[in-house]
Amino acid sequence: MNRFTLRLLLIAGTLFVSACGEDNEKLLYGQWNASQITEEGQTLNVDLSEIQFNFRPDGSYEFQSTLNYREAGSFNLDNNVLYTLDTVNLESVEKTVQLVYLSEDTMRLIMNSSGKTRMLELFKPK
């Protein structure tokens, strides 16, 4: 994915998410499993089955990833920005990711990982 396409995706996603407003947080609730992860447009070779989010109506979340990484804490969705604070690791700082797409069964997040653009696509199992 080239930079122009990525920027276009960000703009379109921002408009989509902003238009949906307060209903987005309700769509966020539940378990989400990774279906694809890319960095600078290149697919990363990782075990996607290990990457999961679970968002709850009480504002708590759990996240697990590869290499036995886990975190849990609180989250807040403000327009198209998802804020998470890991309360398990006391040295953790609040993280922010861009929510570029959210529907009943698909979510796309864009984040910065060591100066590189990473996109994570997730699905909600039925």
Domain of 82 in residue numbering reads as 3-123
pLDDT category at 5 given cuts 50, 70, 90 is low
End-to-end CA distance of the chain: 29
Q: How far is CA 85 from CA 32, 40, 61, 81, 98, in A?
A: 18, 25, 9, 13, 15
Under the banding of pLDDT at 50, 70 and 90, the label for residue 4 is: low
Nearest to 37 by CA among 115, 126, 104, 116: 116
**Region of residue 10 (phi > 0: left; psi between -120 and 50: alpha; otherwise: beta):** alpha
pLDDT at residue 64 tops 50:
yes
Residue 22 pLDDT exceeds 80: no
Q: Is the pLDDT of residue 54 over 60?
A: yes
pLDDT at 14: 46
Residue 109: in which H helix or E strand, if any? strand 106-113
Q: Report the relative pairing of strands 116-123 and 106-113 from DSSP bridges.
A: antiparallel
The count of structural domains within the chain is: 1
- Note the pLDDT of residue 72: 96
CA-CA distance, 83 to 18, in Å (whole number)? 16
The residue with tokens 């209903």 is 23
CATH value at residue 45: 2.40.128.280
Tens-place pLDDT, residues 68-85 = 999 999 999 998 999 999
